[in-house]
Each structure stands twice: as C-alpha cells, then as structure tokens.
Amino acid sequence: MKNELIGRITNKQAHVGVIGLGYVGLPLLVEFAAKGFKGTGFEVDETKAEQINAGSSYIGDVPSRRIKEAVDAKRLWATTDFDHLGDCDAIIICVPTPLRKTKEPDVSYILAATEQIAKRLRRGQLIILESTTYPGTTDEVLLPKFEESGLKLDDDFMLAFSPERVDPGNPKFLTHNIPKVVGGVTPDSTVVAAHLYSQIVDDVYSVSSARVAEAAKLLENTFRAVNIGMANEMARLCYALNIDTWEVIRAAATKPFGFMPFYPGPGIGGHCIPLDPHYLSWKARQHGFDSRFISLAEEVNSRMPEHVVQLVSDGLNDERKAMKGSNVLLLGVAYKKDINDVRESPALSIIDRLRAKGANVRYHDPFVTELSFDDESLQSVPLTNEELKSADCVIIVTDHSEIDYKRVCSLASLIVDTRNALNGDVRRESSARIIRL
C-alpha cells in the first residue's frame, strides 16, 4: 500500500482532503491545489464553505485570486458534507486545540474529526494530524479509533503527525518555504506522509515517530514563551530601575554568539504560544514531572496586561489625573501587527482591567472592526485628530504598520508604548510624554 500511495502522490492523482479551513488548513489546501492536486476542504461552518466555493478568501495570507483560480480549475472546493472523506486518499486534520477553563488540553475537535474519518475509513488512505497537541495523541487516541474498523495500520491505512508552523501576517515565510517536520506512527507512514508534503514544501524533515513530532512542536512554542517571559521580567525590572529595556536588548544583541534577542510586550496572544506550553506541562504532570520553567513563564507573561495598566495609572497620576473617568485609547487590539486575529490577545485583558478601574476605553484597529465582550460590543473608532487630542492616555498595544505614529505623538499628551513602536526620531520630536515598557 505504501508504494500505491506514493505512486498516486507522485502522479498527482491523490485526492487531498483538509478538515478545518482556518489559518492552517486553508493555506495548506490552496497550496496542494496550486500544485495540481484535487483538494476538498471540510468545514462545519457553512458560510466559510460558501465563501471558498465563491472564490473568496477570509484569511489575510491567502489572496482570493489563488482560491478562485483553483476553484475555476475544479481542483478545489469546500463542503460541510463529511461523506466525501471517503473520496480522499490523504486526509489532513487542521482543527483547533484550545484549553479548557482548567487549562487542560481540549482535544474535542480532534476527536470529532477522528470520528468523522473513522466512519468512512477505507483501505489506501493516509491520515495526518496537524493540530497542536500533547505527545502521544496520534498513536494513543487516533490509532485505536481507526483500528476499531478492522483495518490495520500500514496494511490498510497510514497515520502520521506533522505540526503546523503558520505565522499569520508574515510575508517572508509561507507554506512552501517553512520546513515541515513529519513523524509517522510507523516508518512506512513517515515515508508516505513526507512524500506528500514534499510536493508542496521545499524542505521536509522526517523524525522517528509521531511522538517526536508532537513534542517538537511544543518545544518550539514553549521555547518562545519562556524566553518572552524572561524578556518581560527584564522589562519590569528595567522599569523599576529606570533603565531603557530596549536599549539593553539592543546592546546584548551585538554579541554574535550565545544570545538570541527576545522582546517584551503587553502579553502573549494567538493560537499557539499562550496555549501550547500548557499541553506540554499537562503531559508532564501525567508522568509526575513538575515543569517549573513553563509555569513560571506563564505566570510572568499573564501578568503583563496588569503591568501595562499600572504604567497607565502611573502616567495619569503624574498628570494629576485619576484612572476613573479618564479617556483611554488603545491603538491595535489584534494579537500581532497587521492581522485581524484577536485570539488570546492581551488587549482584551487590558481593556477589561481598564474598564474595571472606571476608565472610558475606546480603541482603533484598522484590521479589527468590532470586539465582543460579555456585556457589550466595542467598535473601532476612526483615528481622528480629535480622538487623539481627547485621550488622556494612548496605549500602543499592537504596532500596526499603517498607523501614523508621528501624528499620534504630535497630538496625544500621554503615550504608553508597549511595542517600541516609537523610534528615536519620533520620540525626540514628540511633545507627548512617552512611557515605554
């Protein structure tokens, strides 16, 4: 069966299915279609399926033009009917893996996708999990479910894990030029899965097992979370010592070995860094291991929104103004620059804390038109001169490129810059008081 699948992949006869058409799944599906494969996207959201079939993109990194070309060529379509999974030779699972309120892994979306596949599993299929999860998920959760059908791994189907490595809003690294790690539950599964990805990705790196691939993904993002936590703790220390954090980092970064710069911020957001370390620490606890570095980093990073609010309070206090009743304007609420994703964004926590202290909070974000909270919704306001002048404090939470920071500095009276968005020239020419993280 290994040779059969490799032959179908090589000849572009393999039909590729992708479950979950978000930031990970949609770019992947489009890439396969662009390389000549027939691709089917599976979604529970009918609106998304309709948009794709109409040749329209809802993901910033995927131009509508690419989707329309693939749809018109009949190489790509989306559906909510999971019966079509039986038509696919390769099925890639790209569903969310959030945390429960207890900060334990929530693999319910993976389980739901697995159930849909298991009902239609046939001989000659390759299944790959891309959703970030704890080590052991692929062979402890997916494999037993698939073998309930009576089909056997390697003889009838292949199973592997390949972690997604999407960086939304990064024009330099896209699906085709981000190296792909692949680990099969068996060596044959590794070979077939690696061959599939080699059709669309420049570099494929095979590892000995699905567990290694699962752990590698968690290490990547835990490494970032821990080092960002160190940078955030350094920023708080430098603030207490009245030292410029950013100058300290620039100086340390001149060392050509043994140092890698990480930068502080208002907190961490997105679908990976705030969540993935918890998957690793949860698995560690199952084996009686206390992952103290991970816990400490999470504690430091989660306190950064509180620190930002304290900087606002200190700034207002120096102006003889109370937080209660003050007009506070946030610039940017997405979790990173130049995208519209607010998942786990620190801006949400900052807004909650400011409002709890009685501040009148407004925000401007060219990519996010509305924010929903339990009690109400907030809409992005135009960044007018009047809006900037009337704000008692402006907080730069997300450093979107299209914001004119020189104008912000010329009109605002107090600015808390959490992203080092205000360069030296802008700061020197500014009439505003600027507090940097």
- pLDDT per residue as tens digits for the range 111-125: 999 999 999 999 999
Asked whether residue 313 is domain-assigned, the answer is yes
**Are 174 and 247 within one domain?**
no
Q: What is the pTM of this model?
A: 0.92
Domain count, the chain: 2
Does some domain include residue 214?
Answer: no
For residues 200 and 244, membership in a common domain is answered with no
CB atoms within 10 A of CB 140: 12
Query: Do residue 192 and residue 248 come from a single domain?
Result: no
Residue 423 counted as domain residue: yes
- Same domain membership, residue 157 and residue 238: no
Would you state the pLDDT for residue 257? Answer: 96
Rounded CA-CA distance 308/361 in Å is 14
Give the residue carrying structure tokens 């592997």.
160
First vs last C-alpha separation in the chain? 57
Shared domain check, 298 and 176: no
Has residue 213 been placed in a domain?
Answer: no
Task: Please indicate, yes or no, whether residues 153 and 17 belong to a single structural domain of this protein.
Answer: yes
Question: Does 215 map to a domain?
Answer: no
The angle at the Cα of 345, spanning 181 to 52, to the nearest 5 degrees, equals: 60
Strand order in the sheet with 393-396: 360-364, 327-331, 393-396, 414-417, 433-436
105 bridge partner residues: 99
Q: Considering the domain boundaries, does residue 220 fall inside one?
A: no
Are residues 75 and 20 located together in one domain of the fold? yes
| Residue 219 within any structural domain of the chain | no
Task: Please identify every stretch of the chain with a pLDDT value under 70, giving residue numbers as ranges.
Answer: none
Pair (129, 75) in one structural domain? yes
**In this structure, are 196 and 331 located in the same domain?**
no
Per the annotation, the verdict on 272 as an active-site residue is yes
Q: Are residues 189 and 302 in the same domain?
A: no
Pair 83, 120: CB distance under 8 Å: yes
Of the residues 88, 94, 272, 393, which is catalytic?
272
- For the stretch 372-380, contacts whose Cβ atoms lie closer than 8 Å and that sit 24 or more positions apart, written own/partner, are 378/351, 380/333
Q: Which residues pair with 17 in a beta bridge?
A: 40, 91
Tokens describing residue 346 = 């620190």
- Residue 60 identity (one-letter amino acid): G
Which one-letter amino acid corresponds to residue 161?
F
Same domain, 273 and 154: no
Domain CATH for 248? 3.40.50.720
State the residue range of the domain holding 419.
230-436
Does residue 358 lie in a domain region? Answer: yes
pLDDT in tens, 243-289: 999 999 999 999 999 999 999 999 999 888 888 889 989 998 989 99
CB count, 10 Å around CB of 88? 24
Regarding whether 44 and 95 lie in a shared domain, the answer is: yes
- For Cα atoms 351, 355, 359, give the angle at the middle one, nearest 5 degrees: 110
